[in-house]
Chain A
Amino acid sequence: MSILQTERLSVILVATLMVFASNAPQANAQVMMQNNQIVIKEENIVSWIFGNRARSLETVQESLNVVLETRLDLIARECDLTDKQRETLILAGQGDIHRFLNDYHTLRRKIPIGTISQERYQEIWQEIQPMRTRFSTGLYNHNSLFEKNIQYVLKNHQRSRYDAFVRERRHRQYEAVVRGTITMIENEMPLTSSQRESLVELLMTDVPNANYHNINYYHQYLVLYQMSKLPDEKFQAILLENEWASLSKLIQRYQRYESSLIQQGVLIDD
C-alpha cells in the first residue's frame, strides 16, 4: 500500500468513524455497529462509492449524465464543437460512465447485505476504497474514452484552442491548490502578506514537475512534493531563518512522494 493510500485510508476511517459517532442523518450513519457486527444496507454501498450525494444508483446515473453534459457544454463553448463531434463525445463519455458502473456492479456482487463482522468490513473497505477514489478523482481523466476521443475528433485549430483552454484551467486549479496548501502551512507558520504573495508566485512560476494531470485529489501532496524539488535558496529569500528551518523539515518528507503521485494518476509518468 502506498504512502498516499495509507494516509488517505486513515483519514477515511477516522472520518467514517466520526460519521458513525455523530449519528448524522446520512446514509453512512445507517450502518449499525453492535457487538462488533456491522449491518450493511444497499444505500450504504452506494454512498461509500459515490458519496453522500447519492441517494440511489438511479440518481447517481442521472447526475453522471448531467455532469457529462455540463463538461461538454464548456468544451463546446471553447472549441465550437459541431453536432457530430458533440455526439461522438457524448458516446465516449457515456462509455466511461458504463465502464465505471460495470466495475461498480462487479464489486457490489462481492459485498453481502446484512450483518457482517468488523474484520470482514475492513476487508470490504479495502476493495471499496480504490473505487471511491476513482469516482472522486473524476471519470474523465487522461485514460478515459472521453479524453482520448477529444484528441481524435477535434480539428487542428480546435485542438490548439482546447489545449490552451486545458492549460489555463489546470493553471487556475493549481493556483487554488497552492493557496489552499499555503493556508494550511500558515496555521503553523504565519506569513506576512509580502511573504505569502512571494511564495505563491514562486510556486506558480517554478513548477519542477509540470506533468500533473488530475488535481482534484491528493493535491496538497502534489504542492508539497513540488516544493521539495525547489532549491533551498528560493525559500530562503522569502522566509526567515527559523521559518525555513521548520518548513524544510516538512517538505523533505515529500521528496519521495513521486511514485505515489504517479500511481494515483496525479502525476503523469514520462
Chain B
Amino acid sequence: MDMDLTEQPTASRHASCSQAARLLRSLLWAFGIGLFTSTFAETLQAEDVEAVPRAKLTRQLADKEDIAQDAADRVAVTAEAEAAAEAEAEVAEEEHEADDGLRVPRAKLTRKIEGVEKPRAAQNRAVPAANMVPLNIDPLNNVEARLKKYMPALEQCLTLEIHFLRKVCNPSEEQLKPIRIAGKKKLVELAQEFAKNENGAFRNDEKGARDLLREEILDAAKQVLDKDDLELYTRELDLRHQARYRGIAELMTLHSDSMLSFDTDQFEAVSEAIQKKPEPTWTRGMQSLFYSEYSPKPGIDLLSPVLNDKQKQLLSNEPRRNSTIWFGWPRNIGMQQFGSDFGLEELPAYDQQEEPK
C-alpha cells in the first residue's frame, strides 16, 4: 500500500491544530494581560504620586536634598560633575522651599543640571556618558528605606562590640549608657555613608565601617571607664587587631606555599613579613582569602629577603593582587561570613571578667 509520507496522520494534524489554537489563545491572553498590567500600573503610579501625604513628600524632598549633597562628595568628581551636583542640590532646595507637593518635570530638571544657559537645541543633544552625573532626584526614592536596609546589620555590629567590651571589663550600666548612645549615633552616620551608593559600597580607605564604630566606642569608653578597665579593654582590642592580621597573613602564606614550597622557617618568616605590612582592605571581603586565585597576594618586594632564587622567579611571574573581591556590603563589614548571621546576642549579665593570657 502506498503512503504519502508528507501527509501527517489525522491525530497528529488535530494535535497541531489544537497546539496552534492554544498558542494563539496564549498570545492573546499574554497581550491582554500585558495591556491590563501596564494600564493598571500607570493608574497605580498616578494614584501613588497623588496619594503621597504632604508631610511624607516634604520629607522625601528633604531626603533628596541630602542625596544631592551626597553626590557632591562622591569620589573622582570632575569640575563639571561638581557643578552639576551643585545644580542638583539647588534644584532640590528650590523644590523643598516651594513645598508645593508637586514634582518638577524631569526634562526641566535635567536641563537645569546640564546648564540652564545652553540653548534648547544643545540640551537635546546626547550627553557623553562620561559627563553624566547620577541624579538621584526621584522624590519616590525613599532614603529612609535605604537607611533601614543597613541598620540591622550595623546594629548587630554594635551588639558585638558592646558584648566584647562587657566581656572584657564588665562596666556598670551607668558606664555603658553613654557608650551605647555614642555607638548608636555612629550607626546612623555609617548607614548614611552606606546609603550613598546603591550597592552599599563603603569608602575604600584605611578604615572600614567596623573600625570607625570600634573607634567611636573606644572614645566613649575613655570618658567613663576606670583606668585599669580601659587599659584592659585597649589591650584586648590591640590583641584582637593583631590576631586578625595574623589570621589573614597565615592564609596568604598558605596560598603562596602551595606554589613556592616553603620550609618551616620560611613559612614563619613570610607570615611575619606580611603581618608587618598589613593592608586595611584585606579585612574586607575576607571570603576571598580562602580561595588561592582570589586571595590578595604579597608582593615580591615584601617577601624577597626570605626567598631563594627559584622562588623569586616564580613569584615575579605572579601578578600582585592587593584588593579583595566584593562579596557584598554585609560581608565587607564582617557579617554573614558563613552564609547567614551568627545572631549573637548580649547576655543579661557578664559576671566574670576575662583575664588575657
Contact = CB atoms under 8 A, between A and B. Distances in A.
A and B found bound together: yes
Contact of A177 (B244, B251, B335, B345): B251
Nearest to A73: B310
Contact of B347 (A188, A195, A224, A242): A242
Question: How big is the B interface, by class?
Answer: 35 or more
Interface string A234-270: 0000001111001101100100000000000000000
Interface string A41-65: 0000000000111000001000100
B317 A53 contact: yes
Contact of B344 (A51, A77, A192, A242): A242
Contacts of A73: 261, 308, 310
Interface string A194-231: 11110000000000000000011101100010000000
A269 B271 CA distance: 32
Contacts of A217: 292
Nearest to B253: A176
B357 A69 contact: no
A176 B243 contact: no
A184 B286 contact: yes
B314 interface: yes
Interface in B270-301: 271, 286-294
A225 to B, nearest CB: 13
Contact of B243 (A74, A181, A196): A196
B236 A216 contact: no
A187 B338 CA distance: 10
- In this complex, the interface size class of chain A, counting residues with CB under 8 Å from chain B, is 35 or more
Given A70-B261, A77-B263, A184 B317 contact: no
A67 B335 contact: no
A11 B259 CA distance: 22
Contact of B168 (A15, A175, A192, A242): A192
A179 B246 contact: yes
Interface in B305-324: 308, 310-311, 313-314, 317-319, 321
B258 A242 contact: no
A66 B334 contact: no
A15 to B, nearest CB: 5
Contact of A176 (B168, B254, B317, B345): B254
Contacts of B254: 173, 176-177, 180, 215-216, 219
Contact of A180 (B168, B247, B346, B357): B247
Contacts of A185: 337
A188 B293 contact: no
Contacts of B261: 67, 70-71, 73-74
A168 B264 contact: yes
Contacts of A66: 310, 313-314
Nearest to A74: B261
B293 A194 contact: no
A136 B347 contact: no
Contacts of A240: 167, 347, 350
A92 interface: no
A194 B354 contact: yes
A59 B354 CA distance: 54
Interface stretch (B59-67, B77-85, B136-144, B157-165): B157-165
A183 B163 CA distance: 17
A164 B316 CA distance: 31
A192 B236 contact: yes
Given A11-B287, A243-B344, A67 B271 contact: no
Contacts of A181: 247
A148 interface: no
Contacts of B247: 179-184, 186
A159 B334 CA distance: 45
Given A176-B250, A193-B357, A70 B311 contact: yes
Contact of A14 (B163, B327, B337, B357): B327
Contact of B354 (A138, A172, A177, A195): A195
A194 B325 contact: no
A190 interface: yes
Nearest to B255: A216
A169 interface: yes
B224 interface: no
B248 A69 contact: no
Interface string B229-248: 00000001001100110111
Given A70-B311, A179-B243, A197-B357, 14 more contacts: A14-B327, A53-B319, A73-B308, A74-B261, A176-B267, A179-B247, A180-B289, A180-B290, A187-B335, A192-B354, A196-B243, A216-B258, A216-B292, A246-B344
26 contacts: A11-B287, A15-B291, A18-B326, A63-B317, A71-B261, A74-B261, A77-B263, A138-B258, A168-B264, A169-B264, A176-B267, A180-B247, A180-B251, A180-B289, A182-B243, A183-B247, A189-B344, A190-B161, A195-B354, A197-B357, A216-B255, A216-B292, A219-B254, A220-B290, A240-B350, A243-B344
7 closest residue pairs by CB, A with B: A183-B247, A187-B334, A176-B250, A188-B342, A180-B251, A192-B354, A246-B342
